[in-house]
């Protein structure tokens, strides 16, 4: 394998110049709601309707979602920076202090999120130190027409 001409800090710093939205991918494990912040969300296919995200092998939530086989993607709004920060931690109960309700699939729909997608795990591709997770969308909706939360160069912002 060819050596890289940069270290992982440089990789993160340069890739951080690609702006993303922020989602919380949430589900249940042993009856408890679980979730994590995800910036790598992407749409995959229209027919069948597929979406995806990349999750690190260090995630403690992803094995729980994989086991249950389903999850709800919550697209965060510009006023949900605190929600993003909370779901980027390893707090044992990230849902203790936020509002949420059950989606049609029974997964957490976080109050104030812009949009949601109920998914079942469709495929998983291991690549490097991440899994590329493809989800089949079963139901979806727009909850608010506000602006999105943006992550760019390691910080949060919103559309001008």
Ligand X SMILES: Cc1cc2nc3c(=O)[nH]c(=O)nc-3n(C[C@H](O)[C@H](O)[C@H](O)COP(=O)(O)O)c2cc1C
Q: To the nearest whole angstrom, how small is the minimum distance from the Cβ of residue 2 to ligand X?
A: 25
Number of neighbouring beta carbons within 10 Å of residue 136 = 18
Identify the H or E element spanning 15: helix 8-15
Q: To the nearest whole angstrom, how small is the minimum distance from the Cβ of residue 23 to ligand X?
A: 8
Instruction: Using the minimum distance from each CB to ligand X, give the nearer residue, 56 or 104.
Output: 56
Q: To the nearest whole angstrom, how small is the minimum distance from the Cβ of residue 142 to ligand X?
A: 21
Instruction: Using the minimum distance from each CB to ligand X, give the nearer residue, 47 or 126.
Output: 126
Residues in contact with ligand X by the rule CB under 6 A: 22, 36-40, 53-56, 59-62, 84, 87-90, 151
Q: Where are the beta strands (DSSP E) in the chain?
A: 20-21, 23-29, 32-38, 42-45, 50-56, 70-75, 100-102, 108-110, 115-127, 130-142, 149-152, 155-158
Which 3 state secondary structure label does DSSP give 39? coil
**Side-chain half-sphere exposure of 54, counting CA atoms within 13 A:** 7
Which DSSP state fits 77? B
Instruction: Using the minimum distance from each CB to ligand X, give the nearer residue, 54 or 140.
Output: 54
Q: To the nearest whole angstrom, how small is the minimum distance from the Cβ of residue 94 to ligand X?
A: 7
Instruction: Using the minimum distance from each CB to ligand X, give the nearer residue, 5 or 159.
Output: 159
Instruction: Using the minimum distance from each CB to ligand X, give the nearer residue, 137 or 149.
Output: 149
Which DSSP state fits 127? E
Q: To the nearest whole angstrom, how small is the minimum distance from the Cβ of residue 96 to ligand X?
A: 14
């Amino acid at each position: 394998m060819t050596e890289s001409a940069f270290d992982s800090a440089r990789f993160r710093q340069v890739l951080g110049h690609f702006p993303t939205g922020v989602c919380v991918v949430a589900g249940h494990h042993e009856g408890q709601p679980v979730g994590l912040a995800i910036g790598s969300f992407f749409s995959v296919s229209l027919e069948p309707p597929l979406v995806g995200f990349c999750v690190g092998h260090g995630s403690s939530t992803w094995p729980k979602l994989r086991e249950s086989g389903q999850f709800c993607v919550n697209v965060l709004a510009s006023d949900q920076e605190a929600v993003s920060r909370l779901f980027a931690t390893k707090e044992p109960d990230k849902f203790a202090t936020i509002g949420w309700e059950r989606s049609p699939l029974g997964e957490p729909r976080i109050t104030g999120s812009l949009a949601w997608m109920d998914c079942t795990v469709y495929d998983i591709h291991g690549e490097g130190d991440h899994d590329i997770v493809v989800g089949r969308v079963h139901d979806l909706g727009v909850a608010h027409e506000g602006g999105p939360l943006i992550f760019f160069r390691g910080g949060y912002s919103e559309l001008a």
